Chain A
Amino acid sequence: MIRVQREDFDAGAELARMTAGRADIGGLASFIGIVREKTDAGALSAMTLEHYPGMTEKRLAEIEAEAARRWPLAASLIIHRYGRLLPGERIVLVATASSHRQAALESCQFLIDWLKTKAPFWKLEETAAGSQWVAAQETDDRAAERWRKS
């Protein structure tokens, strides 16, 4: 399931809902991305996430479908926020459930790695020095590249 929203999410409630009444699930993996105060440009006062409504949902659904092709998943969830967020606020929740832990853990990492390089979101950081768009990280490209099928 994909959700792109301005409001915060309750990770505990979301994870509980994913596994409720599911006797086939043996492992549930999750990742939560949080706004970090420390940046290269100094202390962050806020971060604004911009996205491309429509394309964002399409790309996220595609990434989720790719995970389901590669691993035997019982359920998966991506919640990504947009708008102005303060340090400590949650940005994204990725969760995957499977009958065994390996599929859940691997697919969870795959989802966040691919999302970072493929879903149309952009971060604008506010610091005492002003506002600056975050540049794409080569380390993120390498993390995503790891999952490329040869």
Chain B
Amino acid sequence: MKLLYFAWLRSKLGKAGEDLTPPAHVTNVGELLDWLETVSPAHKAALADRRAVRVAVNQDYAAADHPVRPGDEIALFPPVTGG
């Protein structure tokens, strides 16, 4: 699974992305975030305020119950501030 991080999630994690293989019980966005928190203290800190984290699955906004599959591109980022 390809993870991408933007804005302060990227700064806090110290990387723009990584390839990870979550365990089989991770089937949706919410479960993925729960599991990501266990990957490292940096991941736990970056995801501490879950309300400030938006998720896109294959470049579409996704809610917690949206399914995730191996091979998906999952992006984590704060609420957008363009324009």
| A, B bound | yes
Q: Which of A33, A50, A112, A137 contacts B7 (CB 8 A)?
A: A50
Residue A101 at the chain B interface, CB threshold 8 Å: no
Residue B13 at the chain A interface, CB threshold 8 Å: no
What are 7 sample pairs from A and B whose C-beta atoms fall under 8 A apart? A52-B75, A55-B75, A119-B82, A122-B77, A133-B78, A133-B81, A136-B79
Please indicate the chain B residues that have their CB under 8 angstroms from the CB of A50 in the complex. Answer: 6-7
Q: What DSSP secondary structure best describes chain A's contact surface?
A: mixed
Task: Say whether B7 contacts A55, CB under 8 Å.
Answer: no
Say how far A124's CB is from chain B's closest CB, in angstroms: 7
Task: Knowing A54-B59, A55-B75, say if A121 contacts B4 (CB, 8 Å).
Answer: no
Interface size of B as a range? 10 to 19
Task: Say whether B6 contacts A120, CB under 8 Å.
Answer: yes
Say how far B54's CB is from chain A's closest CB, in angstroms: 8
Which B residues are closer than 8 A to A by beta carbons?
Answer: 4, 6-8, 11, 56, 59-60, 75, 77-83
Task: Say whether B78 contacts A112, CB under 8 Å.
Answer: no
Say how far A12's CB is from chain B's closest CB, in angstroms: 21
Task: Knowing A55-B56, A58-B59, say if A116 contacts B82 (CB, 8 Å).
Answer: yes
Task: Say whether A136 contacts B80, CB under 8 Å.
Answer: yes
Residue A127 at the chain B interface, CB threshold 8 Å: no
Task: Say whether B75 contacts A91, CB under 8 Å.
Answer: no
Residue A3 at the chain B interface, CB threshold 8 Å: no
Task: Say whether B77 contacts A120, CB under 8 Å.
Answer: yes
Please indicate the chain A residues that have their CB under 8 angstroms from the CB of B83 in the complex. Answer: 33, 80, 91-92, 112, 115-116, 119, 121, 140
Task: Say whether A122 contacts B59, CB under 8 Å.
Answer: no
Task: Say whether A124 contacts B82, CB under 8 Å.
Answer: no
Task: Say whether B75 contacts A136, CB under 8 Å.
Answer: no
